[in-house]
Homo-oligomer: A and B are copies of this chain.
């Protein structure tokens, strides 16, 4: 058996190549140096294989660190040839082998079955995958009896738990399931038990359909590669996916895994990367942390893998710059070399993309528009007109997020969770995740009658999705996307069209938003904007409240303090300072009795679980209605040098000229500026459809989805 033992992810020549990178100033050289320093520091601490704790507790964290360093020590032993690393990994594995079977299974606390080391098998699978990878690097260095001890008392029992005790879970087609099959497959290879690799690839039944990696690849992603739960969960699944793909490429070449199902691995990796903001953070679509980004370990692996296996892409170089590291693996070395060869690496600037959803791509989409301003700043606008993100879904169909000048401007709240902070409900999802974070009013969209889309019913929401109207992502001066959502509030039709418009008269691309609502009955419509920073000015009077009450009593409103209200009349200007940039929002509806409400989170937050975030809401009542707004990015403020430039911006008026079943026409005005924005409201519009709307004897006509005309003033 020993003759077949070998590192699962490296061959002899590759190790020799990596050896040459030691001490180099390349990204790979720096990666090796940093990881080695990191490992040496950890090795300086007392070795400890502890018992059990809940998530976020000392023992939980220690087991997480231990698997990470077993893997690292294994790889660094191969690359540096320093036997202290092999000895360290071997000792840790031996102590786990001593202890593993002495531990009882945890008490089950959620739907995820419990492990012996961790409260849920998900973490146990992560442990197994990493420990197996590390073990495979040192197995021939170990003595036969050491190997036997580790295999018999640790790895085989763990494989038994994964594939027999919890066999029903092993075959589940689920994001977590990729960890299970990758762990079992890799461990099987590492200990020379190839049957586990077969199970991992084809499922326990061996048919490649009911379970296993191939079935997961086939079923988890839409044709665009988008993962329904959103980037935060996608980046978590991409780690075992990328690692296991590379393992299969090496150990089951007959699968031709990198070309499997139309290169689904490339597709889904790029779909994930294409959601990231230019600074590398992921928009917090659905339940998600606000600080998760492409520096996540899994994305580091995936960027290196996709570059090596699918070829040169300058955006991957830009991402590697943000990551400041590569995967310490031959794949990463190729990326590192490409970075060295490039004289000037720009920040990533992914093309605009519409990522379809659903098994056949017909369940709506997630749209991402990107445009570069005159100063090379990249702005990004995303809109959700796809599926509900299952149990982690937010009720925010037609919600948008907007990013400019390095910061999220129309903001997502993300999850209500203090992840891994044990005194905060064990680091788990908090009640406020349901009562606030997932609610419609917490997003940048329209809330009808102070309710929530689909009455906050996940099963109903899972059956709904947005309907794409049009997507124009190619232009350098005008891009747009439009979608319908007619079932999310029964009896209310909704259409949202958002666009980025670049003009010589404005510093940065302008975000223009037309949100149309239609109904037979009157409703209250709340058009909400989650912003951060200090209010600089408005063009209407508002009154701050001398005592604060929650804005409502349910659907997230109970968590919003009603800070201030103003009668805005026909339109409203709200300007604020965020970081070093000013933003001015001009909004209106087709009615003249618009009200603006300023809010802050924190009401009915009995444990201080929520962050304090602010929003402003344009509220009006009507049956058929068009909200229109323009968001201008302008000026510069630097408190440290006490400099302020253009704190007022250029735009000062916005007006709905018309909206009907044919289309919507809106005028946006400022100093020497008048844009006429015309958008088709016809579901079956094509790029040759003619539109004509007559208002006060003036005819507005355009061909196709939309038009923006600039009138001289």
Contact = CB atoms under 8 A, between A and B. Distances in A.
A34 B297 CA distance: 36
Contacts of A611: 534
A437 B537 CA distance: 21
A421 B548 contact: no
A292 interface: yes
29 contacts: A56-B644, A289-B640, A289-B642, A291-B639, A292-B640, A293-B640, A295-B640, A418-B534, A418-B536, A418-B577, A419-B642, A420-B642, A420-B644, A421-B536, A422-B648, A424-B536, A424-B537, A534-B611, A535-B608, A543-B606, A544-B605, A544-B606, A546-B603, A547-B549, A548-B561, A563-B602, A598-B608, A600-B602, A612-B614
Interface residues of A, number: 56
A389 interface: no
Interface in A532-565: 534-537, 543-544, 546-550, 561, 563-564
A61 interface: yes
A101 interface: no
| Stoichiometry, copies per complex | 2
A297 B423 CA distance: 45
Interface string A281-306: 00000000111110111000000000
A590 interface: no
A51 interface: no
A643 B420 contact: yes
A267 interface: no
Given A420-B644, A422-B644, A534-B608, 17 more contacts: A56-B644, A61-B643, A61-B645, A295-B640, A418-B534, A419-B642, A420-B637, A420-B642, A421-B647, A423-B537, A423-B647, A424-B647, A543-B606, A548-B549, A564-B608, A600-B602, A612-B614
A602 B419 CA distance: 29
A575 interface: yes
Which of A548, A563, A564, A648 is packed against the most chain B CB atoms within 10 Å? A548
Contacts of A607: 535
A604 interface: yes
A192 interface: no
A423 B575 contact: yes
A451 interface: no
A406 interface: no
A113 interface: no
B544 A547 contact: no
Contacts of A493: none
Contact of A612 (B422, B612, B640): B612
A427 interface: yes
Contacts of A61: 643-645
Interface string A403-423: 000000000000000111111
A552 to B, nearest CB: 13
A339 to B, nearest CB: 22
A653 to B, nearest CB: 17
A32 to B, nearest CB: 19
Contact of A423 (B547, B605, B648): B648
A549 B608 CA distance: 18
Contacts of A637: 420-421
Across the A-B interface, the 10 shortest Cβ-Cβ residue pairs: A548-B548, A535-B608, A420-B644, A291-B640, A291-B639, A423-B537, A421-B644, A419-B642, A544-B606, A547-B549
B639 A419 contact: yes
Contact of A547 (B418, B543, B548, B639): B548
Contacts of A645: 61
Nearest to A427: B644
A547 B602 CA distance: 11
A295 B640 CA distance: 8
A295 B641 CA distance: 9
Contacts of A561: 548
Contact of A421 (B293, B423, B577, B606): B577
Nearest to A635: B421
Contact of A604 (B422, B534, B546): B546
Nearest to A638: B291
Interface in A570-615: 575, 577, 598, 600, 602-608, 611-612, 614
A529 to B, nearest CB: 15
A236 B291 CA distance: 37
Which of A290, A427, A549, A563 is packed against the most chain B CB atoms within 10 Å? A563
Contacts of A548: 547-549, 561
Nearest to A644: B420
A463 B642 CA distance: 32
Nearest to A536: B423
Contacts of A563: 602
A684 to B, nearest CB: 45
Contacts of A648: 422-423
A543 B604 CA distance: 10
A556 B608 CA distance: 24
A634 B611 CA distance: 21
B289 A639 contact: yes
Contacts of A544: 604-606, 608
Contacts of A612: 600, 612, 614
